[in-house]
Amino acid sequence: MPQDKIVIRGAREHNLKNIDVTIPRDKIVVITGLSGSGKSSLAFDTIFAEGQRRYIESLSAYARQFLDKMEKPDVDHIDGLSPAISIDQKGTTHNPRSTVGTVTEIYDYLRLLYARIGHPHCPNCGREVSQQTIQQIVDAVLNLPENSRIMLLAPLVQGRKGEYKNIFEEMRRAGYVRVRVDGKILDLSDEIDLDKQKKHTIEVVVDRLVIHKERATTSPDHDENHLSPFGQRSTLKKVAERPTLYDVNAEDHNEQGRDDELSLDVLSSRLQEEKSDPALRQRLSDSLETTLKLGGGVVLVSIIDGEEILFSEKAACVYCGISLPEIAPRTFSFNSPHGACPTCTGLGTQQEIDVERIVTHPEVSLLQGAIAPWSKVVNGSQWHASILEALAHKYDFSLDTPWRELTEEQQQKVLYGTSEPLTIRYTPHHGHARKYTINFEGVIPNLDRRYKQTDSESIREEIENYMSARVCPDCHGARLKPETLAITVGGRNIVQVTDLSIVLAQRFFKELEAEAAGNAERAIAPIVNGQGKKKNGNDNPLKRDPYAKIDPREPLVQVTLTERERFIGRQVLKEIRARLQFLVDVGLEYLTLDRAAASLSGGEAQRIRLATQIGSGLMGVLYILDEPSIGLHQRDNERLIKTLVRLRNLGNTLLVVEHDEDTMRAADYIIDIGPGAGEHGGEVVAEGTYADIVANTNSLTGDYLSRRRRIKLPPQRREGNGHFLTISGARENNLKNITVDIPLGEFVVVTGVSGSGKSTLITDILYRKLAHTFFRAHDKPGAHDAIEGLEHLDKVIDIDQSPIGRTPRSNPATYTNAFTGIRELFAQVPESKIRGYLPGRFSFNVKGGRCEACKGEGIVKIEMNFLPDVYVPCEVCKGKRYNREALEIHFKGKNIADVLDMTIEEAMSFFANVPSIYNKMKTLNEVGLGYMRLGQPATTLSGGEAQRVKLATELARRATGRTMYILDEPTTGLHFADIDRLLQVLQRLVDNGNTIVVIEHNLEVIKSADWIIDLGPAGGDAGGQVIAQGTPDDVAENEQSFTGHFLQRMFNEEIALAKAHHAENQVVVG
């Protein structure tokens, strides 16, 4: 067997026609073809499925029981298969705790970095907190400037009321001579009277020391009989025989000292040598140990006529009394109780009752349903009506008055309840009127209480309709505890770093490692800096706002790393920088590290996983990718292709399902599947290099690549109906307070590089506002001032690529509602009428007509323990899903199961004389789904197929001419020919007077638009501006527009092709 190829023999999965394929290893291989032709069946359902199955089969029986079991694909054999990794668009997590940082593992490395070299601060006052050993404190004292006069103070009382006579007496008995009270030195032999109503700070003076270069004398701050901190009895002015540390003369307690009498030294002229003297260090260590014991682990070193430095054995702020937890990677995890904000449990948001969701229509009265939770019960519940009547009577308003005309006090009483009891008159069924006195708690407290107390999921889901996610009031969305946010690297906490875009994060880590003046001084900061306080005793905290965002115009790093910190974090920083670069390489530099993974598009999520795989550095792997170019602007395509080449050059094979022309040009090998879709596909039409495909006249792909076929420009641009929809002051996410005019009655395309704000403008602001206006939707529109021109529309429809159903019971027939007509048709058959069958008899979802052995699924799962579960056709119905009685009813020779097994094309012919069904089949065929079967499970449809089913469903409805259709990248998964057909359908919708707004990168769609809105100039913070508005010709001439640049290049190519075609015709005529 050749080792340089992957050989597939007899692939028959889904619609594949027993094909043989040879794939070269260590190459970029593109599989292309029409939507539904069998590309994914070959790449994912055959090759990847077999690779995964072989891997799982190689594991022990014990390990296999914990893994998903995969059945063997329908293929004869595959040789030369490498370990396979699938990178598709369906892996986006919906976990609200997942972010870009966690998915890429960058956040894991950040947590490790902050745990190892982070600088903790007090979350209250902002002072840096240093946990130091006695040895470190000794080093710090020895590093103080020469000739420094210092006192060692042990804090006893910090800012508390009282007289504290017992403390003074205890210190006096212990042999101490002086204390410092509120900044003043007092002699313990004197009577000390304090005002017990005032707050006091008390420290005991343990030692007073001086640094000098000749010789040292000392006497401790004890009586003559007390054992000094050096472990010996000492007397005043005892002269040391060698340079060492000694106390200042006891008489010099007023800090004025007589230097001529006190020839006091700490350091000799051989300062550096003496600093290392073991005896010297031991004596200082003993003195500090005594001070720390008295001060509860804290020692205050007061430099006379200078600053005061506080050292602590504990990770705690002695000024605020706040102890900091042990710093570990888990401290920075919002998924762990050690780091997560306790209020929101690390989510950053809380679900709260939203007044705007309760009062959805303030223009109507309470009786007409102004309060949404009561709209269903007010008219049907006499009890609720009685409460409202009593409330209105007590606070003097009418139940027929529109909500917005009630006073603020009256509205507050309805929403938040009354403090006074209400007397209501209530007549129960079959009873007499009675008076009741109740406490009315209000709409919002009532919903909140029920939400917290109920065990019913249905009630919870109902109440959640009236709730919105609000930023946590304690952590302000940061997700972490205050103590965690007070730990910094480079002067920034971990949340401020994750709030940066990828490109700014790159800059941050570059600045972090930069050499800077003052680095040498910072090298001893963890030892010397302690916690500073000025001589007068006033606190001098380092003010920080842990929730403030970093201004990219300022230096991102406030403090560079020391040599020690750089050495510790070297490997971690290398991993972080590499992963950031990989994200930039795949065109995601605009994302922030704290961006929720659930908010990513399929293309963004796929490229993140691609970047993660590059970071893993694996070799000899078969990567299978599903359209990595989706959602990517042409400007960024080249970077993506370079990334694919880089992955290949590591020694991997890339199998890419793709329609993008640039990717196909960069491929080493192309396999074209076709010639059609569904049953008309499943064959290898052409394979070889790009040049081979272009030259192959049997390849539809080759026809479009060679321009033998092309999507033509529209004959003219529409002028619209003269009305506009104007969005003003749009400022959600990265939008820069922009104003945009959308002409109605036209085909409008919104363009721009990835992350420029397209989806924010159209989906988050425009669609949500229209849905709220027309359908009372609950989702709140993004931040904007106003949208004008709504009176010119009566409906909005968002046609996205989400599944049309999440169970196999959903299918194109049920989604388009064609199945209802089909069931009614079968119920009208004479035999059905004789038997008394109703339409429900022909449903496979309910008892009556379905097969009860398989519950209408047609298949039965057989569990095989350690082997994959086997799905076999139901023995009773033979996979037909219906019981014998239902299958005995025939229409035009076909039973209900036969109809569901028809393709759309077959169903068009079969129901040609039934307009209600035929029209639905016709529109499905027009959008390119003629190959699909009526009963095909929704779970097997691609995103592009699901979107076209939705589009066909809308096309089949009667047009009003005042509808706005919104589509987000409808060309995803579509071949050139599919795009051509889709454009014809969209143009037809516009011809009927409707407005189409499409978010798109595909130039074939952009060139076909009537109007373009181009956002940019870049992604993330660098985007959010309107770069160009106008016709495609106008935008193509705009030099600031990246879209215009590529559009101009396409127009030039169109002109060149037209000239060449004209020249050929001239030659033929000649």
Read off the CATH number of the domain in which 447 is found: 1.10.8.280
727 and 853 co-located in one domain: no
User: What confidence score (pLDDT) does residue 376 get?
Assistant: 62
- Give the span between the Cα atoms of 858 and 845, in whole angstroms: 11
Please count the helices (runs of H) and the strands (runs of E) in the chain: 39, 38
User: What confidence score (pLDDT) does residue 225 get?
Assistant: 30
Q: Which of 882, 906, 940 is the last residue of a domain?
A: 940
pLDDT digits 0-9 by tens, 514-559: 754 344 333 333 323 344 443 333 333 444 577 777 777 677 877 8
Strands 467-471 and 531-533, bridge-based pairing = unpaired
Task: Read off the tokens for 596.
Answer: 């929720």
Task: Read off the tokens for 1010.
Answer: 């009537």
CA dihedral for 879, 882, 884, 888, sign (positive or negative): negative
Contact 1047, 1038 (CB under 8 A): no
296 and 147 co-located in one domain: yes
User: What confidence score (pLDDT) does residue 146 get?
Assistant: 80
**Residue 730 backbone phi and psi in degrees, to 5:** -70, 120
Global pTM?
0.77
Question: Is position 179 within any domain?
Answer: yes
Q: Distance between terminal CA atoms of the chain?
A: 57
- Give the span between the Cα atoms of 477 and 106, in whole angstroms: 20
Contact 113, 576 (CB under 8 A): yes
User: Cα separations (Å) of 408 from 397, 416, 591?
Assistant: 12, 12, 42
793 and 811 co-located in one domain: no
Question: Is position 528 within any domain?
Answer: no
User: What confidence score (pLDDT) does residue 838 get?
Assistant: 94
- Give the span between the Cα atoms of 1043 and 30, in whole angstroms: 26
Q: Quick one: 220 exposed, middle or buried, by C-beta within 10 A (0-12, 13-18, 19+)? A: buried
Q: How many CA atoms lie within 13 A of 439 on its CB side?
A: 4
Residue-by-residue DSSP string for 774-787: HH---SPPPS-SEE
Judged by DSSP in three states, 214 sits in coil
Which residue do the tokens 């002028």 mark? 719
Residue-by-residue DSSP string for 414-482: HHH--SS-EEEEE--TTS--EEEEE----HHHHHHHHHHH---HHHHHHHHTTEEEEE-TTTTT--B-H
Contact 117, 46 (CB under 8 A): no
Comparing CA positions, the residue from 605, 575, 616 lying closest to residue 111 is: 575
CA dihedral for 42, 48, 51, 53, sign (positive or negative): negative
187 and 295 co-located in one domain: yes
**Residue 1068 backbone phi and psi in degrees, to 5:** -65, -45
Strands 28-33 and 669-674, bridge-based pairing = parallel
791 and 825 co-located in one domain: no
Q: Quick one: 27 exposed, middle or buried, by C-beta within 10 A (0-12, 13-18, 19+)? A: middle
957 and 977 co-located in one domain: yes
Q: For the domain that residue 168 is a member of, what is the CATH number?
A: 3.30.190.20
User: What confidence score (pLDDT) does residue 84 get?
Assistant: 92
929 and 947 co-located in one domain: no
Contact 784, 730 (CB under 8 A): yes
Q: Quick one: 221 exposed, middle or buried, by C-beta within 10 A (0-12, 13-18, 19+)? A: buried
Contact 660, 678 (CB under 8 A): no
Q: How many domains does the chain have?
A: 5
User: What confidence score (pLDDT) does residue 279 get?
Assistant: 61
Residue-by-residue DSSP string for 49-60: HHHHHHHHHTS-
278 and 191 co-located in one domain: yes
User: What confidence score (pLDDT) does residue 873 get?
Assistant: 83
780 and 857 co-located in one domain: no
Q: Which of 313, 331, 361 is the last residue of a domain?
A: 313
Contact 1066, 1023 (CB under 8 A): no
Q: For the chain, how are helix, strand and coil distributed in percent, rounded to 5? A: 35, 20, 45
Dihedral through CA 392, CA 397, CA 400, CA 404, nearest 10?
A: -120
Question: Is position 549 within any domain?
Answer: no
- Give the span between the Cα atoms of 603 and 625, in whole angstroms: 11
pLDDT digits 0-9 by tens, 863-881: 766 555 667 788 899 889 9
CA dihedral for 741, 747, 753, 758, sign (positive or negative): positive
Q: In the chain, which stretches have pLDDT less than 70?
A: 1-2, 65-70, 90-93, 210-281, 376-381, 429-431, 515-544, 553, 864-870, 1061-1062, 1064-1070
Alpha-helix residue ranges (DSSP H) falling in 268-375: 271-275, 278-294, 355-358
Question: Counting every residue, how long is the chain?
Answer: 1070
Contact 283, 245 (CB under 8 A): yes
Question: Is position 493 within any domain?
Answer: no
pLDDT digits 0-9 by tens, 524-535: 333 233 444 433
Q: Which domain holds residue 218?
A: 134-313
Q: Any idea what DSSP says for residue 726?
A: E
Contact 500, 550 (CB under 8 A): yes
Residue type for 478, please? A
- Give the span between the Cα atoms of 499 and 508, in whole angstroms: 12
Residue-by-residue DSSP string for 875-902: TTTTT--B-HHHHT--BTTB-HHHHHTS
Question: Is position 594 within any domain?
Answer: no
Comparing CA positions, the residue from 966, 832, 843, 959 lying closest to residue 896 is: 843
Strands 859-862 and 322-323, bridge-based pairing = unpaired
Q: Any idea what DSSP says for residue 480?
A: B
- Give the span between the Cα atoms of 799 and 996, in whole angstroms: 11
- Give the span between the Cα atoms of 1043 and 751, in whole angstroms: 7
Question: Is position 866 within any domain?
Answer: yes
At residue 479's C-alpha, the angle toward residues 476 and 483, to 5°, is 90
308 and 438 co-located in one domain: no
User: Cα separations (Å) of 23 from 80, 682, 877?
Assistant: 10, 17, 41
In this structure, how many other beta carbons lie within 10 angstroms of the beta carbon of residue 304? 17
Question: Is position 41 within any domain?
Answer: yes
User: What confidence score (pLDDT) does residue 614 get?
Assistant: 83
Q: For the domain that residue 752 is a member of, what is the CATH number?
A: 3.40.50.300
Phi-psi region of 755 (alpha: psi -120 to 50; beta: other; left: phi over 0): left
Q: For the domain that residue 829 is a member of, what is the CATH number?
A: 1.20.1580.10
Question: Is position 27 within any domain?
Answer: yes
Q: What is the CA radius of gyration of the chain?
A: 39
Three-class SS of 361-406: CCCCECCCCCEHHHCCCCCCCHHHHHHHHHHHHHCCCCCCCEHHHC
361 and 435 co-located in one domain: yes
Task: Read off the tokens for 19.
Answer: 């094909």
Comparing CA positions, the residue from 164, 41, 127, 25 lying closest to residue 683 is: 41
Residue 1026's H or E segment, with its range, is strand 1025-1030
Residue type for 329, please? P
42 and 190 co-located in one domain: no
Strands 217-218 and 238-239, bridge-based pairing = antiparallel
Q: Which of 289, 313, 337 is the last residue of a domain?
A: 313
Contact 527, 132 (CB under 8 A): yes
